[in-house]
Amino acid sequence: MRSNVNILGSYWTLAAGTAPLGQEVCAHDIHRRVECAGRAGYTGMGFWHADLAHLRETIGFAELKSVLASNGIVHIEVEWLNDWYGAGAARAASDANRALLLDAAEALGAGHIKVSDLASEGIGLDQMTEEFATLCAQAAERGTSILFEMLPAAFSSLPSLDQVLSLTRGAGAANGGIMLDNLHIHRTGTPLSDIATKLTPSDLIGVEINDGTWAQPVDFLDSVIHRRLLPGDGELDINGFMQAVWQTGFDGPVGVEVMNEYCRYWDLETTAQVSFRKTSAVLEAARGSAS
């Protein structure tokens, strides 16, 4: 079953058994992972840097691209780059990930590389903007884009739409933009109307959804990596979020990014089928409300 909206299954949603800061390389065969995603209805998939390094050494990016194409997976996301603005050992490790992600994006035809700014204290906006512009220029040479994921203040020094737009617009790169996650939008207290009124078609954006509780969590990190819910299983206004997004003129694939301590133990088939079905239902309802 296909949705009227192209849906991209993020790495953490479809790579059963994986978790950030835990088992980051998926133990399941990549052919099965892609086949299950395509059979469920997904037209896009995301890949985490640690898994990409493993796949490059095992089947190679050329074979991976062929497997994706043969299963109808045409929208590709690669992630996650941090410390791209800093110096020292953290920057050296980041640069190694940068090289990997740029290679993977070019080889797989990825639409974007997702980045953010964990642990960016002491880094000024001017420096970050300059580094973001450099990163975007390198991505442009590989035929891909850079999307900065807006995060809450618990994780980021740029926890507002205005601050992130200062970065992305300030860089002056046509292939640089913002990744909007509805959970993070909610937890930054950003009014949904700001998405529709402040973003323009020239602001390259990516979108991903998941669900959760309306109340702010006591432990932000735990809530992000263990307690996200599938779309429709929580209290967040995904309908309103998507309508605001579509008002900007956005017509790209919508990612679903769920990190849940129970869902990650499902088998591949169940993970793909249930996550796609729930996401598709929520997006179709939002489309119907917008028409």
In this predicted structure, what is the pLDDT of residue 42? 98
The residue among 152, 154, 158 whose CA lies nearest residue 183 is 152
In this predicted structure, what is the pLDDT of residue 290? 65
Both tokens of 210, joined, read: 């998941």
Distances, alpha carbon 259 to alpha carbons 163, 174, 209, in Å: 26, 31, 11
Both tokens of 116, joined, read: 């953010």
- Reading the chain (291 residues) residue by residue, the pLDDT tens digits are 567 899 999 999 999 999 998 999 999 999 999 999 999 999 999 999 999 999 999 999 999 999 999 999 999 999 999 999 989 999 999 999 999 999 999 999 999 999 999 877 778 999 999 999 999 999 999 999 999 999 998 899 999 999 999 999 999 999 999 999 999 999 999 999 999 999 998 998 999 999 999 988 878 888 889 999 999 999 999 999 999 999 999 999 999 999 999 999 999 999 999 999 999 999 999 988 866
Max intra-chain CA distance, the chain: 51
How far apart are the C-alpha atoms of 95 and 188, rounded to whole Å?
29
In this predicted structure, what is the pLDDT of residue 2? 62
CATH superfamily for 7-290 is Divalent-metal-dependent TIM barrel enzymes (3.20.20.150)
What torsion, rounded to 10 degrees, do the Cα atoms 104, 206, 17, 105 define? 0
Burial class (CB in 10 A: 0-12, 13-18, 19+), 126: exposed
- What is the Rg, in whole angstroms, of the alpha carbon atoms belonging to the chain? 18
The residue among 230, 238, 221 whose CA lies nearest residue 262 is 230
* Per-domain boundaries in the chain: 7-290
Instruction: Tell me the pairing of strands 254-256 and 7-9.
Output: parallel
Instruction: Determine the residue type at 110.
Output: A
Please state the three-class secondary structure of the chain as a single string. CCCCCCEEECHHHHCCCCCCCCCCCCCCCHHHHHHHHHHHCCCEEEEEHHHHHHHHHHCCHHHHHHHHHHCCCCEEEEEEECCCCCCHHHHHHHHHHHHHHHHHHHHHCCCEEEECCCCCCCCCHHHHHHHHHHHHHHHHHCCCEEEEECCCCCCCCCCCHHHHHHHHHHHCCCCEEEEEEHHHHHHCCCCHHHHHHHCCCCCEEEEEECECCCCCCCCHHHHHHHECECCCCCCCCHHHHHHHHHHCCCCCCEEECCCECCHHHCCHHHHHHHHHHHHHHHHHHHHHHHC
In this predicted structure, what is the pLDDT of residue 89? 95
Count of residues in the chain:
291
Instruction: Determine the residue type at 203.
Output: D
Instruction: Determine the residue type at 266.
Output: W
Residue 124 CB contacts under 8 Å (≥ 6 apart), including other chains:
none
For 91, phi then psi, to 5°, come to: -70, -35
